[in-house]
Amino acid sequence: MILLLSFAIYRLAPMALELREITLTTAQLAALLFSVVYMAYAEGYKGFHLGFAPRVVARAHYLHQNPRPSHIVLAPLFCMGYIHATRKRQLLSVGLTLMVVCFVIVARMLPQPWRGIVDAGVVVGLTIGIGSIAYFMVALGQGKPGLNVPLEVPGEA
For residues 116-128, give the mean pLDDT.
97
- Whether 15 is in a domain gets the answer no
Using 50, 70 and 90 to split pLDDT, how confident is the model at 47?
Answer: very high
pTM: 0.91
Residue 155 pLDDT > 90: no
- Whether 146 is in a domain gets the answer no
Is pLDDT larger for residue 66 or for residue 146?
66
- Whether 115 is in a domain gets the answer yes
Contact status, residue 122 vs residue 36, Cβ threshold 8 Å? no
- Whether 24 is in a domain gets the answer no
Of 40, 55, 46, 28, residue with least CA distance to 116:
28
- Whether 110 is in a domain gets the answer yes
Is pLDDT larger for residue 148 or for residue 120?
120
Using 50, 70 and 90 to split pLDDT, how confident is the model at 145?
Answer: low
Of 124, 103, 2, residue with least CA distance to 52:
2
Structure confidence at residue 157 (pLDDT): 43
- Whether 152 is in a domain gets the answer no
Structural domains in the chain (count): 1
Residue 37 pLDDT > 90: yes
Expressed as residue numbers, the domain containing 88 is 2-10+30-141
CA distances from 93 to 84, 90, 140, 150 (A): 12, 5, 23, 14
User: How many angstroms separate the CA atoms of 154 and 6, rounded?
Assistant: 30
CA angle 73/49/138 to nearest 5° reads 65
Contact status, residue 19 vs residue 32, Cβ threshold 8 Å? yes
- Whether 25 is in a domain gets the answer no
Q: What is the mean pLDDT of the chain?
A: 93
Using 50, 70 and 90 to split pLDDT, how confident is the model at 146?
Answer: low
Give the DSSP letter of residue 111.
P
